[in-house]
Structure 1
Amino acid sequence: MRTLVIGDIHGGLRALHQIIQRAKVTPKDRLIFLGDYVDGWSQSPQVLDYLIQLNTTNHCVFIRGNHDELLLHWLKDNKDNLLWYKHGGEATVTAYQQVDKATKQLHIDFLLSLKDYHLDSKNRLFVHAGFTNMNGVSYEFFPKLFYWDRTLWETALALDTHIKPNDILYPKRLTLYTEVYIGHTPVTRIGKTQPVQRACVWNMDTGAAFQGPLTIMDIDTKEFWQSEPLHQLYFDEKGRN
């Protein structure tokens, strides 16, 4: 059985189909999704439908992303959020005009079921954005930081590679877990389109919300598969800026 981790999807169902096919995913595989299933491309409702169905055939773990929480608030409270609209929400609102009430409720239930993080038996952590508490995720005072905070990734990027984990200057957060898998901050910001490792942190957000591909990776072998860049799959859409 493989354990496969998947980066931020952002409404790109076509890309999700591609990576599932290219990785030759079977019901024996365990799938860990890092969040941000929605906002950006035009198929956010269909992505949630697909994930709900996939959970009936595969062992899936679904982590909560910040965009997933924003959608949940909109579906439950029906309140406009202009800032959300500018960051992918407009495409989602437009797509939901064609979704019936019963399906919306299924999506609300799915979004409510998402996990803040997942820690496996090998001390590998899966979280959308990061955490701030120096003693680890179980001590985090503000759960929203699991899907909003960027400082874990920024710390890993800025780390002097000459400093070793047993050094007093080494950031304690980077010593707590064997590996940490995150999304949230696209690696395209540093000119990359493949998963990037810094210290124990693996960033799986390869820019699918913008002009990068979607990525799935076997966490044991580090073999990965990618979709075509999303702006090519959705050539008639503008996506996120």
Structure 2
Amino acid sequence: MKRTLVIGDIHGGLKALLQVLGRAEIQPSDTLIFLGDYVDGWSESAQVIAFLMELATKQTCLFMKGNHDMWCENWLDSGLAPHVWLMHGGSSTAESYRYMDFQTRQIHLSFFNQLKSYHIDSQNRLFVHAGFASIHGPEDEHDDNNFLWDRTLWETALTIERRNQKDETMIPKRLKLFKEIFIGHTPTLNYNIEVPMHAATVWNIDTGAAFHGRLSIMDIDTKEFWQSDVVQSLYPNEKGRNN
């Protein structure tokens, strides 16, 4: 049976990615939707990108762009490494590219250049790294940075859920634009939750793989999910991201 699966933020954890794909028993017939933040954290960011490019030659893969991917893309393009990027996992990414030749770096840059801001499937389900702000939907978004950085969509969904709001007229329009919305960006660990979270129409798949959490993959139809081991245990001599 063909499946569509969504994968949370990887942050350079190739070992976790390989583990969770194995546990989900990924088949060539599966469609894989990645929510971004492939780099910055554990030591194998460049290796994650190489693996994803190879994987996309074997089956259907859709790749969203995260804020960390934007930082890495800019660095590969310009050679400039802003302090804010280096302090948020960029130093480990730069180190993973240390011995990579210029031609290969350019191939990786092309991968980053082609990442999608968002994807809407045939069943009106939205996939985006962080969120969007426009009440008319992502097509009408005036600031593309919201796709990379916005947390208000998730925070609004949580507020609605916590209030147990039943009145449809009180639910913000942007939460009703899509059948479901799948995001990453905000670790569920922030809420002391170690598995994917659901609030209103939003599913948050970032289970803190960059920190002391696990990498998660979910079947978007059945909501069955699989997780890696705690990523720190796969890289015992590393710290991952500090913040």
Shorter-chain TM-score: what band?
Answer: over 0.9
Take 1:222 and 1:132, find their aligned partners in 2: how far apart are those partners? Answer: 26
So what's the TM-score if we normalise by structure 1? 0.98
Take 1:94 and 1:102, find their aligned partners in 2: how far apart are those partners? Answer: 17
The runs of 5 or more residues in structure 1 that have no matched partner are none
Take 1:192 and 1:86, find their aligned partners in 2: how far apart are those partners? Answer: 25
In the other structure, the counterpart of 2:214 is: 213
Q: Within the alignment, does 1:121 sit opposite 2:126 as a pair?
A: no
Equivalent residue runs for 1:192-207 within 5 Å: 192-207=193-208
Q: Within the alignment, does 1:65 sit opposite 2:51 as a pair?
A: no
Take 1:67 and 1:45, find their aligned partners in 2: how far apart are those partners? Answer: 13
Take 1:85 and 1:62, find their aligned partners in 2: how far apart are those partners? Answer: 23
Residue 142 of structure 1 and its aligned partner are, at CA, apart by 0.8
- Cα deviation digits, residues 187-240 of structure 1 (max 9, x gap): 000001100000000000000000100001100000101000111000001111
The runs of 5 or more residues in structure 2 that have no matched partner are none
So what's the TM-score if we normalise by structure 2? 0.97
Count matched residues.
240
Q: Within the alignment, does 1:174 sit opposite 2:197 as a pair?
A: no
Structure 2 counterpart of 1:166, which letter? E
Take 1:95 and 1:238, find their aligned partners in 2: how far apart are those partners? Answer: 15
In the other structure, the counterpart of 2:89 is: 88
In the other structure, the counterpart of 1:150 is: 151
Take 1:25 and 1:68, find their aligned partners in 2: how far apart are those partners? Answer: 24
What root-mean-square deviation, in Å, do the aligned CA atoms of Structure 1 and Structure 2 show? 0.9
In the other structure, the counterpart of 2:190 is: 189
Structure 1 residues 181 and 67, CA gap change in structure 2 (3 angstroms): same
Point out 4+ residue stretches in structure 1 off by more than 6 angstroms: none
Q: What SS does structure 1 have at the residue aligned with 2:98?
A: helix
Q: Which moved more, 1:126-135 or 1:77-86?
A: 77-86
Structure 1 counterpart of 2:28, which letter? P
Q: What SS does structure 2 have at the residue aligned with 1:97?
A: coil
Take 2:128 and 2:110, find their aligned partners in 1: how far apart are those partners? Answer: 20
> Percent same amino acid at aligned positions?
53
